[in-house]
């Protein structure tokens, strides 16, 4: 079903919101033993929300835009009264005292929140294997990872445990798991969606984005969650407007970055992306090669900026305000040390790298240089967008990989983010649309547009979706 089908069905009384919620909770029960997408299932709370929707229907009031739509949330997004761990032992017992702005907007729109989804600890990773609560399995092929860090969110949609989900994308964490799980996932322009009530990873890069089975479902969620919020100083005045029509193929001038097809890209991924571009070209789109020369430096710059912001953002987890301090009968210093020790290896690595990158004498060489690369990348993209109206390429150089393959090899895990980090460093929007698969290993195409051109992004993505389905 799509969000549209749900609106229709509720209006015609083909089913109730309660039945939809029960179906989702039932599906979670049967799928979770294999998939492990969820860290917390809301159960009764979800049914109470569904009841509110059914009450609206029985009062014959107008249905809100996401009425009865089952939705999961990455466990970095606060849902009042429910545990919010960010995949970390540090927050194992932390209960969210309020709703994130995106959550209150979803609730107001009638969405039914069915649970919180698994993630790499604090969002650090590309496979969901860095969760302190065990990995998530890819529903399309249980022996491979779902991607990360919002792997639980992507898997919950792919396993049909819920209709849509919210993830958070700092360097690819929505687009990558969407690609690996064969669903649609979108990262909005920085500033269009509020970060208030989101557990921060790297504040200058973080952005919440939707997952769905179709481009339109993601668009409908984006429509609801986007817009100015006074609780987030980086949020801007923005209104998406109505649902977009698919773009006509001949109106598309598609730029394909040369650097995204260089050495290191799996030839099977490359082939699927090229076949999709051929289909677009046959439908009348013009395809041109563009260049993003700073791509080679983007990943290094991303990991300097990410770790620097991590070292600052995670300073608050001092073991006093969060953690298990009250349970301990020890000195202040011991509590502090013991509690910082609950962090996983990837988190410790990043705190150390970031602290080093920001330290006196090294700041200029690392952090400042990384910020300069960020500026060069912006210039690269501005030039590419003067030649093309959208950019397309792979989401990841790799197919979904077996669990365990990269877990202990941080550099190869970082390489997964090769093509996704640039959208975060520059702030532009991006989306992953499923375009094929090899032996149950899905592949997504990445589409990027200039800042605030979400309309063009969704309408282009719909065209791609139609062309892929038409074969």
Nearest approach in angstroms of CB 81 to ligand GLN is 25
**CA-CA distances (angstroms) from residue 149 to 74, 117, 215, 220?**
9, 10, 21, 23
CB nearer to ligand GLN: pick between 125 and 400 = 125
Which residues between 379 and 398 bind ligand GLN (CB under 6 A)? none
Q: Tell whether residue 323 is a contact of ligand GLN (CB under 6 A).
A: no
Q: Tell whether residue 432 is a contact of ligand GLN (CB under 6 A).
A: no
CB nearer to ligand GLN: pick between 169 and 219 = 169
Q: Tell whether residue 121 is a contact of ligand GLN (CB under 6 A).
A: no
Which residues are tagged catalytic? 74, 149, 173
Q: Tokens 């939809």 label which residue?
A: 20
Provide the H-helix boundaries in 36-150.
Answer: 44-58, 101-108
For residue 384, give the 3-state DSSP assignment: helix
Rounded Cα–Cα distance for residues 417 and 404 (Å): 17
Q: Tell whether residue 75 is a contact of ligand GLN (CB under 6 A).
A: no
Nearest approach in angstroms of CB 371 to ligand GLN is 17
Q: Tell whether residue 170 is a contact of ligand GLN (CB under 6 A).
A: yes
Rounded Cα–Cα distance for residues 293 and 1 (Å): 42
Nearest approach in angstroms of CB 325 to ligand GLN is 27
| 361-363-364 Cα angle (round to 5) | 90
CB nearer to ligand GLN: pick between 196 and 459 = 196
Nearest approach in angstroms of CB 125 to ligand GLN is 5
# chain residues binding ligand GLN, by CB under 6 A: 13
Q: Tell whether residue 127 is a contact of ligand GLN (CB under 6 A).
A: no
Q: Tell whether residue 128 is a contact of ligand GLN (CB under 6 A).
A: no
CB atoms inside a 10 Å sphere around CB 397: 19
**DSSP letter for each residue of 271-289:** HHHHHHHHHHHHTT-EEEE
Nearest approach in angstroms of CB 201 to ligand GLN is 5
Q: How does DSSP classify residue 123? A: G
Nearest approach in angstroms of CB 412 to ligand GLN is 12
Rounded Cα–Cα distance for residues 108 and 102 (Å): 10
Binding residue (CB under 6 A) for ligand GLN from 169, 232, 380, 454: 169
Q: How does DSSP classify residue 183? A: S
Spatial CA neighbour of 433 closest among 459, 397, 464? 464
Q: How does DSSP classify residue 77? A: B
CB nearer to ligand GLN: pick between 3 and 119 = 119
Q: Tell whether residue 123 is a contact of ligand GLN (CB under 6 A).
A: yes
Binding residue (CB under 6 A) for ligand GLN from 104, 118, 173, 463: 173
Nearest approach in angstroms of CB 270 to ligand GLN is 21
Q: Tell whether residue 210 is a contact of ligand GLN (CB under 6 A).
A: no
Q: Tell whether residue 301 is a contact of ligand GLN (CB under 6 A).
A: no
CB 349 within 8 A of CB 410: yes
List b or e across 124-138, with b for residues whose CB sees 16 or more CB atoms inside 10 angstroms. bbbbbbbbbbebbbb
Q: Tell whether residue 149 is a contact of ligand GLN (CB under 6 A).
A: yes
Q: Tell whether residue 417 is a contact of ligand GLN (CB under 6 A).
A: yes
CB nearer to ligand GLN: pick between 64 and 125 = 125
Q: Tell whether residue 454 is a contact of ligand GLN (CB under 6 A).
A: no
Contacts of residue 447, Cβ cutoff 8 Å, sequence gap at least 6: 390, 391, 392, 430, 431, 433, 457, 460, 461, 464
Q: Tell whether residue 125 is a contact of ligand GLN (CB under 6 A).
A: yes
Residue nearest to ligand GLN (CB): 173
Nearest approach in angstroms of CB 393 to ligand GLN is 17
CB nearer to ligand GLN: pick between 174 and 280 = 174
Rounded Cα–Cα distance for residues 171 and 202 (Å): 9
CB nearer to ligand GLN: pick between 99 and 121 = 121
List b or e across 148-161, with b for residues whose CB sees 16 or more CB atoms inside 10 angstroms. bbbbbbbbbbbbbb
Q: How does DSSP classify residue 83? A: B
Binding residue (CB under 6 A) for ligand GLN from 171, 185, 319, 344: 171
CB nearer to ligand GLN: pick between 172 and 434 = 172
Interface contacts to ligand GLN, rule CB under 6 A: 123-126, 149, 169-173, 201, 306, 417
């Amino acid at each position: 079903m799509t969000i549209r089908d749900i609106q229709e069905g509720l209006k015609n009384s083909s089913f109730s919101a309660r039945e939809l919620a029960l179906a989702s909770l039932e599906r979670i029960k049967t799928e979770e033993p294999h998939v492990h997408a969820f860290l917390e299932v809301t159960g009764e709370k979800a049914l109470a929300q569904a009841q509110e929707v059914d009450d609206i229907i029985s009062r014959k009031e107008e249905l809100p835009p996401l009425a009865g739509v089952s939705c999961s949330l990455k466990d970095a997004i606060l849902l009042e009264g429910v545990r919010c761990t960010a995949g970390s032992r540090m927050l194992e017992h932390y209960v969210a005292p309020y709703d994130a702005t995106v959550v209150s907007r979803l609730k107001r729109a009638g969405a039914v929140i069915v649970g919180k989804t698994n993630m790499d600890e604090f969002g650090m990773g590309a496979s969901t294997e860095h969760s302190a609560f065990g990995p998530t399995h890819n529903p399309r092929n249980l022996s491979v990872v779902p991607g990360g860090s919002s792997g639980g969110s992507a898997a919950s949609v792919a396993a049909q445990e819920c209709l849509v989900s919210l993830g958070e994308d700092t360097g690819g964490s929505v687009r990558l798991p969407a690609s690996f799980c064969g669903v649609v996932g979108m990262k909005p322009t920085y500033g269009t969606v509020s970060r208030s009530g989101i557990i921060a990873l790297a504040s200058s890069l973080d952005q919440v984005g939707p997952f769905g089975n179709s481009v339109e479902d993601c668009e409908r969620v984006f429509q609801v969650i986007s817009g100015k919020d006074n609780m987030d100083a980086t949020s801007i005045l923005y209104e998406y407007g109505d649902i977009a029509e698919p773009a006509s193929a001949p109106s598309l001038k598609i730029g394909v970055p040369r650097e995204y097809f260089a050495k290191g890209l799996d030839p099977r991924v490359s082939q699927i992306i090229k076949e999709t571009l051929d289909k677009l070209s046959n439908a009348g789109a013009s395809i041109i090669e563009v260049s993003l020369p700073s791509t080679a430096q983007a990943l290094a710059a991303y990991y300097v900026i990410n770790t620097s912001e991590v070292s600052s953002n995670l300073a608050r987890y001092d073991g006093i305000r969060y953690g298990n301090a009250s349970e301990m009968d020890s000195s202040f210093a011991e509590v502090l040390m013991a509690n910082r020790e609950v962090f996983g290896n990837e988190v410790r690595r990043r705190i150390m790298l970031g602290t080093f990158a920001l330290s006196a004498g090294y700041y200029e060489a690392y952090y400042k240089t990384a910020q300069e690369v960020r500026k060069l990348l912006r210039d690269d993209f501005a030039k590419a967008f003067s030649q093309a109206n959208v950019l397309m390429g792979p989401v990841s150089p790799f197919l979904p990989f077996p669990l365990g393959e990269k877990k202990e090899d941080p550099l190869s895990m970082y390489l997964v983010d090769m093509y996704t980090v640039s959208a975060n460093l520059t702030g532009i929007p991006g989306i992953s649309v499923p375009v094929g698969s090899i032996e149950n290993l899905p592949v997504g195409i990445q589409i990027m547009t200039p800042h605030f051109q979400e309309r063009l992004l969704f309408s282009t993505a719909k065209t791609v979706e139609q062309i892929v389905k038409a074969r």
